[in-house]
Amino acid sequence: MKNLRLALALFSAVLIAQADEVKLADVHLCCGGCVKGAEKAVAKIGGATATVDKDAGTVTIAAASKDILQQAVASLQAAGYYGKSSDATVKAAATAGVPEGKVQKLKIEGVHLCCGKCVTAVQKAVGRVAGVKGNTAEKNATTFEVTGDFSAKDVFAELNKSGLSGKVAK
């Protein structure tokens, strides 16, 4: 049994040594909670590892294939993070289900909000959108609402520019 474990460990090390890699830049990583959240999101995908650099705002993901890299990026995005990919073939997907045109209210879920700095980042991002009057983002919230007369697509574009991701809540 020990030999099997050793063989599997060596095989995993060889796969990672031969891994594909993608670096996501401009990811919102303001604190240790953000770093741990990003690492945890990538770790959910077997065969993927993350190196998170809080100061640089980068998450570098290594995996044995592009498919696993893409799954890890999707997991990171589902955890509320967004970054610009160093590889045009491996990137965060566009947010689905965003209404066209202007809306007066938009409920958003899945944005990473572990601390006050995360909340401030969300408030600044949505505050840059023309027509936004307010939002209810708060620490550890799983959803929040944006109100005013604004473009929902612009809200998600600004969240992405701030290194954050989310989706329209049902």
Instruction: Read off the pLDDT of each residue in 119-143 and give the average, rounded to a whole number.
Output: 97
Instruction: Read off the pLDDT of each residue in 149-155 and give the average, rounded to a whole number.
Output: 97
Predicted local distance difference test score (pLDDT) of residue 4? 59
pTM score, whole prediction: 0.86
Output the CA torsion sign for 86, 88, 92, 95.
positive
Closest CA to 28 of 156, 165, 134, 169: 165
Q: Do domains 2-85 and 102-168 have the same CATH topology?
A: yes
Summary mean pLDDT of the chain: 91
Identify the CATH assignment for 2-85 out of 3.40.50.150, 3.30.70.100, 3.30.450.20, 3.40.50.10420: 3.30.70.100
Element (H, E) at 107: strand 102-109
Q: What DSSP state is assigned to residue 170?
A: -
- What is the separation of C-alpha 127 from the centre of its chain, rounded to a whole number of angstroms? 20
Over 60: is that where the pLDDT of 102 sits?
yes
Report CA-CA distances (Å) from 96 to 1, 27, 67: 46, 20, 20
DSSP H helices, 30-65, are: 32-43
Look at 2-6, 8-12, 106-110, 123-127 and tell me which has the smallest mean pLDDT. Answer: 8-12
List the domain boundaries for the chain: 2-85, 102-168
Instruction: Read off the pLDDT of each residue in 100-110 and give the average, rounded to a whole number.
Output: 96
Instruction: Read off the pLDDT of each residue in 73-102 and give the average, rounded to a whole number.
Output: 93
Beta-bridge partner residues of 164: 81
Q: Does domain 102-168 have CATH number 3.40.50.1100?
A: no
Over 60: is that where the pLDDT of 13 sits?
no
What tokens does 60 get?
A: 């570098």
- Of the pLDDT bands very low, low, confident and very high (cuts 50, 70, 90), residue 16 is very low
Report CA-CA distances (Å) from 114 to 13, 24, 37, 143: 33, 20, 9, 12
Q: What are phi and psi of 152, to 5 degrees?
A: -65, -40
